[in-house]
């Protein structure tokens, strides 16, 4: 028997729509509940009427959007709306033009082909906060920062894409979703912005 997915868009639209931008720290679950000892959004977000618009892995960092508007939540997270998401990926190795082309054209994962993406080498992000625990470094293997922009949200997609082309991801930060940017938010910090769609 197939479970029905919750349809948040069927709820009445709130009179006062709220949109919260959070810089999710490493090791935090992108939900408000968890097992004893789990770090969750409840530890960082002081609202009980907002829900995540999309997820971010426990071992990934960066921008999460939370809203009290189910219609807006669906627009931000449903792949059919093709909202661009920008990631900064620190990968092991130095990418070749062939590897970048593969990422750009799409790679075959076990749950299907990824859509064409943007992927290019970038400098280490400015004002980057230290990760706790630090990323493991191997002196014999260089690492590189990539900017990767996708319009879908398969489970752990960016990590699987880079691994598929031989560039394992060491650190992953989501920097932008649609028009919303991480900007100067530090890990655990949040700010409210008016919804623009």
Active-site residue set: 57
Q: Are 196 and 79 in contact (CB under 8 A)?
A: no
Question: CA-CA distance, 24 to 22, in Å (whole number)?
Answer: 6
CA dihedral (95, 99, 103, 104) positive or negative: positive
- Token reading at 196: 């623009």
CA dihedral (191, 59, 88, 151) positive or negative: negative
How many Cβ atoms are within 10 Å of 86's Cβ, its own excluded?
A: 19
Angle in degrees, 0-180, between the axes of helices 97-105 and 157-164, rounded to the nearest 10:
140
Q: Are 149 and 86 in contact (CB under 8 A)?
A: yes
């Amino acid at each position: 028997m197939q479970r029905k997915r919750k349809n948040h868009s069927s709820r009445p639209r709130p009179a006062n729509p709220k949109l919260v931008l959070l810089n999710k720290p490493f090791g935090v679950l992108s939900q408000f509940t968890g097992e004893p000892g789990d770090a969750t959004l409840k530890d960082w977000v002081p609202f009980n009427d907002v829900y995540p618009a999309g997820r971010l892995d426990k071992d990934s960092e960066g921008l999460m959007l939370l809203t009290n508007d189910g219609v807006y939540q669906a627009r931000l997270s449903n792949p059919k709306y093709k909202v661009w998401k920008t990631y900064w990926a620190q990968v092991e190795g130095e990418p070749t033009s062939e590897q970048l082309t593969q990422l750009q054209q799409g790679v075959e994962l076990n749950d299907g082909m990824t859509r064409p993406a943007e992927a290019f080498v970038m400098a280490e992000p400015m004002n980057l906060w230290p990760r706790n625990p630090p990323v493991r470094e191997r002196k014999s293997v260089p690492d590189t920062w990539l900017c990767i922009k996708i319009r879908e949200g398969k489970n752990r997609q960016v990590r699987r894409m880079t691994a598929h082309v031989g560039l394992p991801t060491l650190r992953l930060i989501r920097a932008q979703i649609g028009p919303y940017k991480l900007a100067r938010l530090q890990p655990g910090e949040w700010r409210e912005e008016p919804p623009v769609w």
